[in-house]
Amino acid sequence: MDRLEKAVSLSQSEQLRVIARELTRKFPERIASRAGERVVFVGVGKVTHFCAKDKLTYAATASKDYVIDATISDIHRATLLNLNYVDEVSSWFGGGMVVRLRDGKRTELQISRDRLREVKERLEF
């Protein structure tokens, strides 16, 4: 159960404090990726998407994919998309859609029908 769900059982003033703390929590500007004996730091703004592949979690940039320590369940989705990198959108069978990213790899990611409305709203179309 996440912190906001736990807040429901608290008094109203305690709920407001928990919600305010969550809303103002600072998110990292960089993500650490281990590369052998070194640790490389990747700016979050350069990450086009996060995905899970072969039991590893990757932070993908326009030029390279970086293995990160977080599990995809820590991130809460099979794929997380940085909407700033969406170049084009097309329909996909079964009512879903595919987004093509503006990265060197022209990455294509499938958006399931149950996430379609949210993605369209965020892309403002």
Q: Is the pTM of this model over 0.85?
A: no
Q: Cα–Cα distance between 57 and 10 in angstroms, integer? A: 35
How many CA within 13 A on the CB side of residue 80?
A: 16
Measure the CA angle with vertex 121, ends 100 and 62; round to 5°: 30
Give DSSP secondary structure letters for 84-106.
GGEEEEEE-GGG-EEEEESSTT-
Which CATH code fits 3-123?
Answer: 2.40.50.1020
Asked whether 44 and 27 are in contact (CB, 8 A), the reply is yes
- Domain positions in the chain: 3-123
| Confidence (pLDDT) at 8 | 55
pLDDT string in tens for the chain (125-residue length): 455 555 555 566 676 776 666 666 666 788 889 888 999 999 988 999 988 888 888 999 988 999 998 776 666 666 778 888 899 988 877 778 889 998 888 899 888 888 888 888 888 87
